[in-house]
Chain A
């Protein structure tokens, strides 16, 4: 496992560095045959370009976009260390092809032109690049999902799942809740900004355009932070019920029969890519804080659902007991 992890990290690093070198190097190497400013943008209708950049900017801007994206995708996953990185492949492979292709097309269009206005739109190139990028994305997705499908079989063994002993004629229910005060604080702070923007908007204090954007952005941010600042979970004969936020809405429910296994796992925000409602190689995680998570595998699914919650061990054990009770009759 360690060897493949290192190999994948190496592949990602080499791919990132290689694409950066090609993106920045192509225009610089060909600078003797290029005009001072490069045509970098063409309108949808016309053949002639409508945007240009100095040579150094045309070399560096795509490289910077690439580096920032690559860092954003790989760094959290690198720190976490689980061997499954689906989004790395699915994002970096097509994006690298897209940027490299676009850069090649730009260089080709500007090659041997005296002025950037003479550069013609490389339509066939653009279409070919888009097709290649989509194909690469699909191929990356297939590769990753097959690899994950293979590794799945080893992780879901029913015997390892802990189960609580329910005495005959007893009804057991489990409650737990977890809150992240920092997220609550953040939600309140962003909410205040949104309220301030609304007041300014009503009072006509500033330009409505920006204020509307501030109000909408901060309002949505505050709601999202508030919704995922606390979670409640309960396990009863109705199954697992999870609800988010102070209002207990929205919520999700799984009947005991809808769950294949339940277990406790220690996870951290770095592993799942941050706080809140997260989709990652580990499946869906509602992450409020590092530590115990209740992880379930819904029936007929190939990915897990996890919530960070205290006392997850017993919740999982009760859920397993209810599940096996039901199948036994």
Chain B
């Protein structure tokens, strides 16, 4: 699998790492059931602290994209791909709304108001 990190990104590092893994899942770089590289591997290759990587992976587990299994490491959850695609689009929507001056509450109101 290929992971990509933006060096100029100003978001917190754990969010960037989570974003990179989320994008890899959305693009089919790793299929459901595939084992992810270990946190130590990821941290060494991305040049990021191992705790930051673990924080990112735990976040993705809470989103339902990853499963932590004892003895098998971290695997991609079933149905993670469409899920991660939707998540990425919501993220883009939030960014676009912020750029146009809408707050999250405005956005939620807009979604509620949709027919």
Q: Which residues of A contact B (CB under 8 A)?
A: 169-177, 232, 234, 236-238, 241, 248, 311, 314, 318
- The number of A-B residue pairs with CB atoms under 8 Å apart is 51
- Indicate if B8 sits at the interface (CB-CB under 8 A): yes
Contact between A175 and B5, CB atoms less than 8 A apart: no
A236 CA to B45 CA, complexed, in Å: 5
Contact of B6 among A169, A174, A237, A314 (CB under 8 A): A169
Contact of B41 among A171, A234, A314, A318 (CB under 8 A): A234
Instruction: Considering the complex, give the chain A residue whose CB is closest to the CB of B16.
Output: A171
Contact of B2 among A169, A172, A177 (CB under 8 A): A172
Contact between A171 and B1, CB atoms less than 8 A apart: no
Contact between A173 and B7, CB atoms less than 8 A apart: no
Measured between beta carbons, the chain B residues less than 8 angstroms from A236 are 44-47
From 1 to 39 in chain B, residues with beta carbon under 8 angstroms from any chain A beta carbon are 1-8, 35, 37-38
Contact of A173 among B2, B8, B38 (CB under 8 A): B2
Measured between beta carbons, the chain B residues less than 8 angstroms from A174 are 1-3
A237 CA to B6 CA, complexed, in Å: 14
Chosen A-B contacts, 9 in total, with CB atoms closer than 8 Å, are A170-B6, A175-B41, A232-B37, A232-B41, A236-B44, A236-B46, A237-B47, A238-B44, A241-B44
Contact between B7 and A234, CB atoms less than 8 A apart: no
A237 CA to B4 CA, complexed, in Å: 12
Instruction: Considering the complex, give the chain A residue whose CB is closest to the CB of B3.
Output: A173
How many residues on the B side are at the interface (Cβ–Cβ under 8 A)? 16
Contact between B37 and A314, CB atoms less than 8 A apart: no
A234-B37, A234-B41, A236-B45 known; A170-B7 Cβ under 8 A: yes
Contact of A314 among B2, B38, B44, B45 (CB under 8 A): B2
A232-B41, A234-B41 known; A175-B8 Cβ under 8 A: no
Minimum Cβ distance to chain A for residue B25 (Å): 13
Top 4 nearest A-B pairs (CB, nearest first) are A236-B45, A173-B45, A171-B5, A175-B37
Minimum Cβ distance to chain B for residue A165 (Å): 12
A232-B37, A234-B37 known; A170-B47 Cβ under 8 A: no
Contact between A169 and B45, CB atoms less than 8 A apart: no
Measured between beta carbons, the chain B residues less than 8 angstroms from A175 are 1, 3, 37, 41, 45
Measured between beta carbons, the chain B residues less than 8 angstroms from A238 are 44-45
A174-B1, A232-B41, A234-B41 known; A169-B47 Cβ under 8 A: no
Instruction: Considering the complex, give the chain A residue whose CB is closest to the CB of B2.
Output: A174
Instruction: Considering the complex, give the chain A residue whose CB is closest to the CB of B24.
Output: A175
A258 CA to B93 CA, complexed, in Å: 44
Contact of A170 among B1, B4, B35 (CB under 8 A): B4
Minimum Cβ distance to chain B for residue A240 (Å): 11
Instruction: Considering the complex, give the chain B residue whose CB is closest to the CB of A173.
Output: B45
Minimum Cβ distance to chain A for residue B55 (Å): 18
Contact of B5 among A170, A232, A314 (CB under 8 A): A170
Contact of B1 among A169, A176, A237 (CB under 8 A): A176
Minimum Cβ distance to chain A for residue B56 (Å): 14
Contact between A172 and B4, CB atoms less than 8 A apart: yes
From 32 to 71 in chain B, residues with beta carbon under 8 angstroms from any chain A beta carbon are 35, 37-38, 41, 44-47
Instruction: Considering the complex, give the chain A residue whose CB is closest to the CB of B1.
Output: A175
Extra contacts besides A173-B5, A177-B37, A234-B45 (5): CB < 8 Å: A170-B7, A175-B37, A177-B35, A232-B37, A237-B47
Instruction: Considering the complex, give the chain B residue whose CB is closest to the CB of A167.
Output: B4
Instruction: Considering the complex, give the chain B residue whose CB is closest to the CB of A164.
Output: B2
